[in-house]
Structure 1
Amino acid sequence: MYRKEEQLLPPPEKFELPFEGKLSPNNRWVIMAELIPWDDFEEEYAKLFSAEKGAPAKLFRMALGTLIIKEKLGTSDRETIEQIRENPYLQYFIGLNCYQQEPPLESSMLVHFRKRIDGELINKINKKIVKREIDKSDKEVKKKDCLQ
């Protein structure tokens, strides 16, 4: 069963931490989170689940984000979950609203994430990111040309 819950994520500087701190908008995980078009692929990911069977699925951002963390850090599934549990930037990256002490998911979920998020979907995401960045760059060039 898949059920998307509407949630508005706070900007990094408003992400709640138990020690009164704020996330830096210049952190690599915050920057990368802003590059990835999470919502553009949520619906496609949701189609992989049955509305009648099984427990509610994790959101696409949590699934893909966890796999990205694992690959970038070169960690095992268990170590990836431990890193997420310990790091508020990683928790923000996977879409949590505030820091939590408990792991947000079991390491065994990564097996399911890998089955559902295949190379074809990763390629679509990469193409969308590149297109968006090119479009943004083109707009900046045009704006610069207009100012001269």
Structure 2
Amino acid sequence: MIDLRHELAKLAELIDWEFFEREWAGFFPSFVGRPATPPRLIARLLYLQHAFDLSDEAVVARWVENPYYQHFCGETFFQHRARSTHLAHPLAQAHR
């Protein structure tokens, strides 16, 4: 359970995540192989990375241990590990 008064919980509600889906969808096509990381998740992880001055690896590591990072990224249940292939190297797509 998280405190919805936490700054990241409040910020997650204020940002128009649909904007990133619309504007960035063409940058992350998925023609072959695993599905592309959703633009919305990339936007959220990039925000966390830059707001807290984290490397790609560090933001994913913090995501695993921080329920507020997970909530900010759209999770509804706490995850104990980066179960999704989208979190294995999500920001590599963003930096191409």
Q: Flag whether TM exceeds 0.5 (same fold).
A: yes
1:65 to 28, 39, 44: 44
Q: How does 1:1-148 map to 2 (within 5 A)?
A: 22-50=1-29, 52-103=31-82, 104=84, 105-106=87-88, 108-115=89-96
Kept in 1: contact 2:8–2:72 (CA 8 A): yes
Aligned-pair CA distance for 1:74: 1.0
Aligned-pair CA distance for 1:71: 0.9
Aligned-pair CA distance for 1:51: 5.1
Normalising by the residue count of structure 2, what TM-score does the alignment of the two structures yield? Answer: 0.82
Number of equivalent positions:
93
Normalising by the residue count of structure 1, what TM-score does the alignment of the two structures yield? Answer: 0.56
Kept in 1: contact 2:28–2:39 (CA 8 A): no
Aligned-pair CA distance for 1:81: 0.7
**Change in 2 beyond 3 A, CA 1:51/1:68:** closer
Q: Report SS of the residue matched to 2:48.
A: helix
Structure 2 unaligned spans of 5+ = none
Runs of 4+ residues deviating >4 angstroms: none
Q: Can you list the C-alpha shifts for 1:58-80, whole angstroms capped at 9, x where unaligned?
A: 22221011111111111221111
Aligned-pair CA distance for 1:96: 1.5
Q: Distance in 2 between matches of 1:41 and 1:74?
A: 21
1:133 aligns to what? Answer: none
Q: Report SS of the residue matched to 1:100.
A: coil
Q: Distance in 2 between matches of 1:58 and 1:89?
A: 20
Q: What amino acid is aligned across from residue 76 of structure 2 in structure 1?
A: N
What is the percentage of aligned positions where both structures have the same residue? 29
Q: Can you list the C-alpha shifts for 1:68-121, whole angstroms capped at 9, x where unaligned?
A: 111111122111111000011100111122111112412x33121234xxxxxx
